[in-house]
Amino acid sequence: MNTQYHSYTDEQLFSLLQDGDEAAFTEIYQRYWKLLFAVAANKTGVLADAEEIVQEIFADLWKRRTVISIRHSLKAFLAGAVKFQVYVYFDKQHRQRICRQEAVPDTAQVEPAYDYKALEEQVHQVTAQLPERCRLVYELSRNAGLTHKEIARTLDISEKTVENQITKALKHLHAALRSLLSLVGIL
């Protein structure tokens, strides 16, 4: 590896990364993996999961290198990415707990639980169709329970943008659910 990369600034490395420079990616990885791993391990308490979170962050950084825009600093961007992945991790853990609890439903509630599951699946499908930033803001708000201010900080956007994206997502969900409910004769 070219040792001059050690002396490059984050901005220089990121610019090279965007051009597909693997050595720049390796330098970014070596510069930040310990920090990201420490944060993820501290938050999750599970080393294997923390390692997976960090690997996912760097894999995503490489895949989306040409479309990522960093406003402040690479370090702040990666810190936001680790926070988001930890929220996703806890959301997944929460969903798995719920699934385990619902695995043995009360026989009197089997049908309503199925209807709820079907509705939940519809909401998930409609949410997945949202534009990426809109979906991400919506999921951080509704699934991870973040405030508008926390979302704005995590994604490095304004609180007004967060509000606009949530409004857009809710309008889309409302229209899709209204359409679905009228198809099944509820509305």
pLDDT score, position 21 = 92
Same domain? 173 vs 148: yes
pLDDT score, position 9 = 92
Residue predicted with more confidence, 20 or 70: 20
Query: Cα–Cα distance between 187 and 180 in angstroms, integer?
Result: 9
- Domain interval for residue 122: 107-187
Domain CATH code at residue 56? 1.10.1740.10
Q: Is the pTM of this model over 0.75?
A: no
Residue 185 gets the label, from left (phi > 0), alpha (psi -120 to 50) or beta, of left
Q: What's the domain count of the chain?
A: 2
Q: Which of 82, 104, 126 is the last residue of a domain?
A: 104
Mean pLDDT of 115-119: 64
